[in-house]
Amino acid sequence: MERQPVTISLLQAKKRKGEKITMITAYDYPTGVIVDKAGIDIVLVGDSLGMVVLGYDSTVPVTMDEMVHHIKATVRGCKIPLVVGDMPFASYNASVEEAIRNASRLVKEGGCAAVKLEGGQEFAEIVRGIVRSGVPVMGHLGLTPQTATVLGGYKVQGKDAKSAKKIMEDALALQEAGAWAVLLEAVPEELGRIITERLEVPVIGIGAGRYCDGQVLVWHDMMGLFDRFLPKFAKQYARCGEIMTGAVQTFIEEVKSGQFPGPENSFTMKPEEVVKLLQ
């Protein structure tokens, strides 16, 4: 049976049926093609591209122009998955009007089907405004990288009753504001389970335990392409970085030794044409 394009209603139906949702990040056309062929449900063009693609020290420097550029490229490779574009730092917190303008730009110029933004109750009106404008919103709670310094660094959130209750209340507030899903990052498994059970919308976990409606990983983490650090919640499914480095090293050795290019990599002229050339 031919796969149909993934929609928000389809994903919400998966939650009701207890079917797990799969989500992965991608930042360009070839990666989009790969994850599309693999059968992923959701593709997130995350502002994590700032660290794993652009080499920034955090996600904070990522601009709207950079997000639009990478979303456009990824969308070209994704025919079936639902593509979600991240709203970068400072693109939605000044006013509802600015948030709507920037969210609309990611959808109109970038071509994604929905946007994601970080924050809880304090951003409920922002979420409500964006949704009313016609742009679907995925929330992001727990460890929120854009404000990691405020949270004390890249640490597990919601480890005590007070902070866990705050995250729970934030999740409910986002749902009430119209968010179609919530991404929950780096929280205790027990909290991930409770929030998933309480919410009617899908909860996608990354370091939030086994009981979320779905799971997401960063492409460069799972493929071994980012060597600065590997979060505890990430699983490395391949060591592509080592393979690629080895391939380049072999290329260097073969060029230096004269092994490459070989006859099979070269073009030839007919002998009579060579004679004419030399006359």
Catalytic positions: 185
Do 142 and 186 form a contact (C-beta atoms < 8 A)? yes
Helices 161-177 & 124-132 angle (0-180, nearest 10): 20
The Cα–Cα gap between 21 and 215 comes to: 7
Q: Which two tokens stand for residue 205?
A: 């976990």
The Cα–Cα gap between 183 and 181 comes to: 7
Residue 276: CB partners within 8 Å, gap ≥ 6? Answer: none
* Residue burial 59-78, b: 16+ Cβ < 10 Å; e: rest: bbebebebbbbbbbbbbebb
Strands 82-86 and 42-45: parallel
3-state SS string for 59-128 = CCCCCHHHHHHHHHHHHHHCCCCEEEEECCCCCCCCCHHHHHHHHHHHHHHHCCCEEEEECCHHHHHHHH
Query: Which of 225, 211, 187, 168 has the alpha carbon at shortest distance from 27?
Result: 225
